C-alpha cells in the first residue's frame, strides 16, 4: 500500500526560527535525511533549497540554468501558472544554509505545474550560469535499482537542520508515475518534512542523472514521528522528461523579429491601434521602398500600429528599435508584454527627441515581467498630439549574456583593472550574492576612480546592455555610474553609454546602461566608476554584459514552406501541417535508406569569427535519431568546420535539440543543417530553428 501522507513541506516560524533551531543544537551530529550522512554541494551542486513565504521549505534540483524542479505540493496555495502566491527564495549549490555563503541565491518569478503529476517547475529571476543542471535519465528505473536521495529536511534529532544530507534508497515497486522506495540494504533511512521535492538520482557512467522527486513518506525515524512503517513515494521524471524540456528551454532564443518589420508587404502582420487609418507608404523609406505612415489629425484621439505579438519569456530583457522620419509631431515607440490571456503586464515607451525630416533611430528596452508569454511593438502618436511620422525597420531583440569574467568578484579583482586614481579592492564587507563585492572608495573630489572589466568583441550596429548591483554608502556625495565603453582596434575609445546609480543609499539597487556599437568600434567593456567631483564608498556586484542577438534564421518556423531552405543529401523533404511546435507548419524529414543521408540546410547567415553560436530546433521524432549541425564557411563559401548533436530525447514529444560551437578564424557565414545520417532511417518533424 502506498503511504497516504499529506503535504511534505516543512513549516517553521520564519527565518529567525531557522537560525535558532540550528544554533540551539550546535554540535549534534544530525543531518537532513533521517538515517542519512552529510553531503556537500561539491558532490551534488544541482541541489536546491526553497524557502517559501518564510513559513515553508522544500528541496529541489536545478534542471536548466533558470529552472528548478520540485514537488507540486510545495506550492499548494499557488496557481498552475504564473508567480507563486508567496515570495520564494532559492539557494543552489550550498551545503550549509546556516553558515556557508557559497552557491547562488535567486527568487522564483514563475511556476508551471504538471497537469497530472505532483511536480512543478519554478523559474528563477536570473540564470545560474556556473552550476551545471542535472539531466533527466533516459533509462527507465526498475525494481531493485539503488537511488541516492538528498535534501535539507528534518532529521532524527533536529527540526530545522539547514544542512544538506543524503542516503541510499532502493526501489520497492513502481508505476509509470511513481516509484516507491525503502532504505537500501535494510537501512532505516527515511525522508522527513522539508525533503519534499528532494531529488532521487543515480550515477550513469561518469554522469549523475535525475530519476524522481520525493513527495511523501511514512517519516519513520524523523524527529517528532512515532511511525514505525517504512518507505516513501516519489514522482517519476523520466516519463515526463519531454514536458520538462518543453517548459525549461526558451522557445525563441534569437531575434524576436515581428513579421513584415520593414513593411515591404504593406501592413500585413500589423493591426490598426486606436483611431487607426494608417497606411503603408512609398513616399519615403529607410530601407527598401516602403514604410508605415502614421497620421494623427486629432488632439482628442490617439493613433498607431501594433505588431504581431511574438513569443517571449519572463526575466529576459527585450529591446525594441525603429527608424523614424517625423514630418510633424512627437511619436512614441512602445514595447509591451502580455500574459497568455492577452492582458498587458507591462508597457514601456520612449518619445522621439531628434530632428524632423531625418531618419532617426529610436530604442526602448525593458525586462519581461513574471507571467509574460508574448511581446509586441506599438508605434504610436498619443491622444494629445497630432502629426505625421514614417516608421521603418521596426524590430525587437532579446538580450544574450556575455561571459563577464568574475562579475561577482568571488575571485578578488581577477579580470578587472584599476581606472583613474585606482585603489579599489574586493571586499567581504557586504555582497549582493556570494561573499564578495568590489569596493570603490573615492576620497578625492578632483580625480575619478573605478574598475574596468575585460574587453569583448563588439559588432557595429548591435545593441549591448551592461547591468550591475550597486550599494551606495551614505557618505557618497554624488551617485556613482555604470559605463559601457566601446573601443576600436587601436584601443582608442570611440563611444560611451552610461547610467548613474539610483538616488538611494544604504541598500542594493540595480543600474543598467544600454548602447549601440558605433562605427569603427570592435570591442566593448564595462566600467564601474566614481566621478571626478564625487567622494564616498560604493560596492558593486553581479556585473553582466548582454548582447542583442543578431542572427535570424529565415523562415525558422516553416510557415512559408521551405522558402530559403535547401535539400541536402538525398533530399525529398517537405513541409507538413500534421503538427507543429508553434504555428501550423513544420518541416518533415523522411529517411528510408541506410545508404544515403538526407536533410535540410538553412540559408547562410553572417557570422563573426571567435563568437560562440548555439543552433537549436524543436524535434518531434517518430523514429530514428536525427541530428542538428552548425556549419561555418569562409568568404569563398568553403566549409571550415561543422559541429553536431544527435537526438537522445523522448520520441513522439516535441523536444529541443541544440549544438554550440565557436566560429573559427576566417568565418564569414554560417548555416544550420537538420540531418538524418547515412546509416540512419526514420521520420522527424522539425520546427522553430533559431540561433543565438
Nearest CA to 77 out of 13, 125, 117, 120 is that of 120
Predicted pLDDT of residue 1: 27
432 and 541 Cβ atoms separated by less than 8 Å: yes
What confidence tens digit (pLDDT) does each residue in 111-120 have?
888 888 999 9
* Kind plus residue range of the DSSP H or E element containing 259: none
- Considering the domain architecture, whether residues 82 and 182 belong to the same structural domain is answered as yes
DSSP character at residue 15: H
255 and 374 Cβ atoms separated by less than 8 Å: no
Q: Give the Cα separation of 552 and 549 in Å (integer).
A: 8
Mean pLDDT comparison of 343-357, 464-478, 598-612, highest-scoring range: 343-357
pLDDT band at 7 (very low <50, low <70, confident <90, very high): very low
For residue 628, being part of any structural domain is answered with yes
The greatest distance separating any two alpha carbons of the chain, rounded to the nearest whole angstrom, comes to 84
Mean pLDDT value across residues 522-539 = 88
Residue 196: Cβ-neighbour burial (10 angstroms; 0-12, 13-18, 19+): buried
| Residue 7 three-state SS | coil
Mean pLDDT value across residues 176-204 = 79
- What share of the chain in percent tops pLDDT 70? 83
DSSP character at residue 563: T
Bridge partner list, 614: 660
For residue 279, being part of any structural domain is answered with yes
Bridge partner list, 81: 112
Q: How many domains does the chain have?
A: 4
- Considering the domain architecture, whether residues 520 and 640 belong to the same structural domain is answered as no
The position carrying cell 553572417 is: 606
Mean pLDDT value across residues 446-461 = 83
For residue 461, being part of any structural domain is answered with yes
Residue 299: Cβ-neighbour burial (10 angstroms; 0-12, 13-18, 19+): exposed
- Considering the domain architecture, whether residues 371 and 416 belong to the same structural domain is answered as no
Name the domain boundary from 365, 399, 433.
Answer: 399
For residue 228, being part of any structural domain is answered with yes
Q: What contacts 24+ positions apart, CB below 8 Å, involve 20-24?
A: 21/158, 21/159, 21/160, 21/161, 21/162, 22/97, 22/98, 22/158, 22/160, 22/161, 22/162, 23/98
Residue with more model confidence, 418 or 606: 418
Mean pLDDT value across residues 593-602 = 91
- Considering the domain architecture, whether residues 133 and 225 belong to the same structural domain is answered as yes
Angle formed at CA 382 by CA 376 and CA 388, multiple of 5 degrees: 95
For residue 186, being part of any structural domain is answered with yes
For residue 543, being part of any structural domain is answered with yes
Cell of 441: 572608495
Q: Give the Cα separation of 109 and 78 in Å (integer).
A: 12
Q: Could you tell me the CATH number of the domain that includes residue 186? A: 2.40.10.120
CA R_g for the chain: 27
What confidence tens digit (pLDDT) does each residue in 618-677 have?
889 999 999 999 999 998 999 999 999 999 878 888 887 888 888 888 888 899 999 998
Q: What is the mean pLDDT of the chain?
A: 81
* Kind plus residue range of the DSSP H or E element containing 133: none
350 and 390 Cβ atoms separated by less than 8 Å: no
In angstroms, the Cα distances linking 213 to 44, 69, 114, 233, 320 are: 15, 8, 13, 9, 41
Predicted pLDDT of residue 307: 93
- Considering the domain architecture, whether residues 34 and 147 belong to the same structural domain is answered as yes
Q: Other CB atoms closer than 10 Å to residue 340's CB: what's the count?
A: 11
Please give the backbone phi and psi of residue 164, each rounded to the nearest 5 degrees, phi first. -80, 135
pLDDT band at 79 (very low <50, low <70, confident <90, very high): confident
Mean pLDDT comparison of 35-44, 324-333, 357-366, highest-scoring range: 324-333
Q: Give the Cα separation of 46 and 91 in Å (integer).
A: 10
Name the domain boundary from 371, 399, 427.
Answer: 399
* Kind plus residue range of the DSSP H or E element containing 105: strand 104-113
Strands 291-296 and 279-281: antiparallel
Instruction: Give residue 597's domain range.
Output: 566-691
pLDDT band at 519 (very low <50, low <70, confident <90, very high): confident
- Considering the domain architecture, whether residues 394 and 426 belong to the same structural domain is answered as no
- Considering the domain architecture, whether residues 110 and 186 belong to the same structural domain is answered as yes
Q: Give the Cα separation of 295 and 390 in Å (integer).
A: 9
pLDDT band at 188 (very low <50, low <70, confident <90, very high): low
Q: Give the Cα separation of 331 and 275 in Å (integer).
A: 15
Residue 31 pLDDT exceeds 50? no
Beta strands in 570-666 (DSSP E): 574-576, 586-591, 598-601, 605-606, 612-623, 627-633, 639-646, 655-662
Cell of 454: 575585460
The lowest-confidence range among 190-199, 267-276, 581-590, 676-685 is 190-199
Close Cβ partners of 232 (under 8 Å, ≥ 6 residues apart):
3, 169, 180, 181, 182, 190, 191, 214, 216, 217, 218
Cell of 107: 527568487
Residue 282: Cβ-neighbour burial (10 angstroms; 0-12, 13-18, 19+): exposed
For residue 258, being part of any structural domain is answered with no
Close Cβ partners of 247 (under 8 Å, ≥ 6 residues apart):
67, 112, 121
Name the domain boundary from 370, 399, 428.
Answer: 399
pLDDT band at 12 (very low <50, low <70, confident <90, very high): very low
What confidence tens digit (pLDDT) does each residue in 265-307 have?
899 889 999 988 999 999 999 988 999 999 988 888 889 999 9
Q: Kindly compute the dihedral angle of the four CA atoms of residues 251, 256, 258, 264, in this order, to the nearest 10 degrees.
A: -130
Residue 8 pLDDT exceeds 70? no
Residue with more model confidence, 101 or 124: 124
Bridge partner list, 526: 484
- Considering the domain architecture, whether residues 82 and 152 belong to the same structural domain is answered as yes
The position carrying cell 564616498 is: 536
- Considering the domain architecture, whether residues 276 and 214 belong to the same structural domain is answered as no
Residue 10 pLDDT exceeds 50? no
Predicted pLDDT of residue 435: 84
- Considering the domain architecture, whether residues 386 and 445 belong to the same structural domain is answered as no
* Sign of the torsion formed by the C-alpha atoms of 576, 579, 581 and 584: positive
- Considering the domain architecture, whether residues 578 and 604 belong to the same structural domain is answered as yes
Mean pLDDT comparison of 2-11, 101-110, 118-127, 418-427, highest-scoring range: 418-427
Predicted pLDDT of residue 624: 92
What confidence tens digit (pLDDT) does each residue in 128-169 have?
867 888 989 888 999 999 998 887 755 444 555 567 777 888
The position carrying cell 541516492 is: 148
Q: Could you tell me the CATH number of the domain that includes residue 349? A: 2.60.120.260
Residue 544 pLDDT exceeds 90? no
For residue 639, being part of any structural domain is answered with yes
417 and 451 Cβ atoms separated by less than 8 Å: yes
Bridge partner list, 361: 323
Nearest CA to 316 out of 240, 233, 380, 401 is that of 401
Residue 28 pLDDT exceeds 90? no
Angle formed at CA 602 by CA 600 and CA 606, multiple of 5 degrees: 155
- Considering the domain architecture, whether residues 95 and 243 belong to the same structural domain is answered as yes
Amino acid at each position: 500500500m502506498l503511504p497516504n501522507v499529506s503535504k511534505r513541506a516543512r513549516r517553521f516560524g520564519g527565518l529567525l526560527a531557522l537560525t535558532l533551531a540550528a544554533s540551539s543544537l550546535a554540535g549534534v551530529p544530525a543531518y537532513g535525511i533521517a538515517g542519512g550522512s552529510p553531503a556537500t554541494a561539491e558532490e551534488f551542486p544541482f541541489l536546491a533549497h526553497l524557502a517559501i513565504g518564510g513559513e515553508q521549505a522544500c528541496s529541489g534540483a536545478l534542471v536548466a540554468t533558470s529552472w528548478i524542479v520540485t514537488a507540486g505540493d510545495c506550492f499548494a496555495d499557488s496557481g498552475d501558472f504564473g508567480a507563486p502566491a508567496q515570495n520564494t527564495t532559492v539557494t543552489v549549490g550550498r551545503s550549509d544554509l546556516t553558515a556557508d555563503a557559497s552557491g547562488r541565491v535567486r527568487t522564483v518569478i514563475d511556476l508551471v505545474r504538471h497537469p497530472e503529476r505532483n511536480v512543478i517547475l519554478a523559474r528563477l529571476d536570473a540564470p545560474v550560469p556556473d552550476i551545471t543542471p542535472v539531466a533527466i535519465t533516459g533509462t527507465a528505473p526498475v525494481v531493485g535499482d539503488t537511488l541516492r536521495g538528498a535534501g535539507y529536511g528534518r532529521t532524527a534529532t533536529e527540526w530545522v537542520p539547514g544542512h544538506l544530507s543524503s542516503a541510499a534508497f532502493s526501489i520497492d515497486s513502481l508505476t509509470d508515475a511513481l516509484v516507491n522506495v525503502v532504505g537500501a540494504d535494510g537501512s532505516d533511512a527515511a525522508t522527513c518534512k522539508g525533503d519534499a521535492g528532494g531529488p532521487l538520482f543515480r550515477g550513469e557512467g561518469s554522469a549523475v542523472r535525475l530519476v524522481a522527486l520525493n513527495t511523501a513518506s511514512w517519516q519513520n525515524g524523523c524527529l517528532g514521528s512515532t511511525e514505525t512503517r517504512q518507505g516513501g513515494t516519489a514522482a517519476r521524471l523520466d516519463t515526463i522528461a519531454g514536458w520538462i524540456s518543453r517548459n525549461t528551454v526558451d522557445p525563441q532564443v534569437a531575434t524576436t523579429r515581428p513579421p513584415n518589420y520593414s513593411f515591404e508587404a504593406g501592413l500585413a502582420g500589423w493591426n490598426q491601434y486606436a483611431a487607426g487609418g494608417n497606411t503603408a507608404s512609398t513616399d519615403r523609406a529607410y530601407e527598401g521602398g516602403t514604410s508605415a505612415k502614421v497620421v494623427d489629425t486629432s488632439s482628442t484621439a490617439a493613433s498607431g500600429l501594433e505588431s504581431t505579438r511574438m513569443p517571449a519569456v519572463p526575466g529576459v530583457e527585450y529591446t525594441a528599435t525603429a527608424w523614424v522620419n517625423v514630418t510633424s509631431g512627437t511619436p512614441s515607440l512602445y514595447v509591451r508584454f502580455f500574459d497568455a490571456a492577452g492582458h498587458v503586464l507591462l508597457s514601456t515607451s520612449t518619445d522621439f527627441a531628434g530632428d524632423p525630416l531625418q531618419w532617426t533611430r529610436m530604442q526602448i528596452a525593458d525586462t519581461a515581467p513574471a507571467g509574460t508569454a508574448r511581446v509586441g511593438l506599438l508605434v504610436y502618436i498619443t491622444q494629445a498630439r497630432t502629426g505625421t511620422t514614417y516608421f521603418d525597420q521596426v524590430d525587437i531583440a532579446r538580450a544574450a549574456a556575455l561571459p563577464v569574467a568574475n562579475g561577482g568578484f568571488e575571485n578578488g579583482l581577477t579580470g578587472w583593472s584599476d581606472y583613474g586614481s585606482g585603489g579599489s579592492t574586493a571586499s567581504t564587507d557586504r555582497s549582493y550574492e556570494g561573499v564578495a563585492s568590489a569596493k570603490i572608495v573615492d576620497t578625492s573630489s578632483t580625480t575619478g576612480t573605478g574598475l574596468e572589466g575585460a574587453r569583448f568583441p563588439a559588432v557595429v550596429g548591435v545593441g549591448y546592455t551592461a547591468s550591475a548591483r550597486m550599494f551606495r554608502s551614505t557618505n557618497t556625495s554624488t551617485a556613482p555610474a555604470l559605463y559601457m565603453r566601446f573601443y576600436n582596434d587601436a584601443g582608442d575609445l570611440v563611444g560611451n553609454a552610461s547610467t548613474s546609480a539610483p538616488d538611494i543609499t544604504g541598500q542594493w539597487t540595480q543600474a543598467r546602461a544600454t548602447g549601440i556599437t558605433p562605427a569603427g568600434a570592435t570591442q566593448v567593456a564595462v566600467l564601474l566608476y566614481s566621478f571626478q567631483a564625487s567622494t564616498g564608498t560604493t560596492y558593486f556586484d553581479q556585473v553582466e554584459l548582454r548582447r542583442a542577438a543578431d542572427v535570424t534564421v529565415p523562415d525558422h518556423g516553416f510557415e512559408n514552406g521551405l522558402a530559403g531552405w535547401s535539400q541536402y543529401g538525398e533530399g525529398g523533404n517537405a513541409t507538413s501541417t500534421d503538427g507543429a511546435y508553434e504555428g501550423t507548419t513544420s518541416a518533415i524529414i523522411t529517411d528510408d535508406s541506410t545508404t544515403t543521408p538526407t536533410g535540410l540546410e538553412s540559408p547562410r547567415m553572417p557570422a563573426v569569427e571567435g563568437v560562440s553560436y548555439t543552433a537549436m530546433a524543436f524535434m518531434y521524432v517518430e523514429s530514428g535519431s536525427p541530428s542538428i549541425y552548425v556549419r561555418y564557411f569562409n568568404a569563398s563559401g568553403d566549409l571550415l568546420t561543422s559541429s553536431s548533436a544527435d537526438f537522445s530525447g523522448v520520441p513522439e514529444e516535441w523536444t529541443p535539440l541544440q549544438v554550440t560551437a565557436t566560429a573559427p578564424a576566417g568565418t564569414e557565414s554560417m548555416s544550420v543543417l537538420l540531418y538524418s545520417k547515412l546509416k540512419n532511417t526514420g521520420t522527424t518533424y522539425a520546427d522553430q530553428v533559431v540561433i543565438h
